[in-house]
Structure 1
């Protein structure tokens, strides 16, 4: 991804980690989405798709927490 570095993603994950129920699952999903994304817009779209497909409310909340922090930056 050109607009968003792996370091930035790790920094965001580190910031939100205390608020997450399943940090390992989120980290794994973020890695997958970032590998499939070529830019920030595509990465954000991938996260939104994960949120819509996720059935577990706690994991859904984790994705939203991360996405909100990403949008804030």
Structure 2
């Protein structure tokens, strides 16, 4: 992932942080997925996969909030 894509992810994190129940969990997940992704499309697929596997409803909601903001940009 290039620097501008990384900056986009950091900007989204700072934008959605006030609305999250578990911001540190989302931050860790974003870091992990971004390391394994070559671009934002691949990152989005990884996040969707994480959402489908997450059992905790509040964490799932946090991931969806982030995903929705990512799709808006």
> What is the TM-score when the length of structure 2 is the normalising length?
0.94
**Match for residue 17 of structure 1?**
17
- C-alpha distance in structure 1 between counterparts of 2:3 and 2:11, whole Å: 15
Supply the distance in 2 between the matched residues of 1:4 and 1:46 (Cα, whole angstroms). Answer: 19
Query: 1:23 offset after TM fit, Å?
Result: 0.2
Q: Which runs of 5+ in 2 are unaligned?
A: none
How many corresponding residue pairs?
73
- Greater than 4 Å deviation, 4+ residue runs: none
**How does the TM-score come out when normalised to structure 1?**
0.94
- The change in CA–CA distance for 1:34 and 1:56 in structure 2 (over 3 A counts) is same
Q: 2 CA distance for matches of 1:3 and 1:23? A: 22
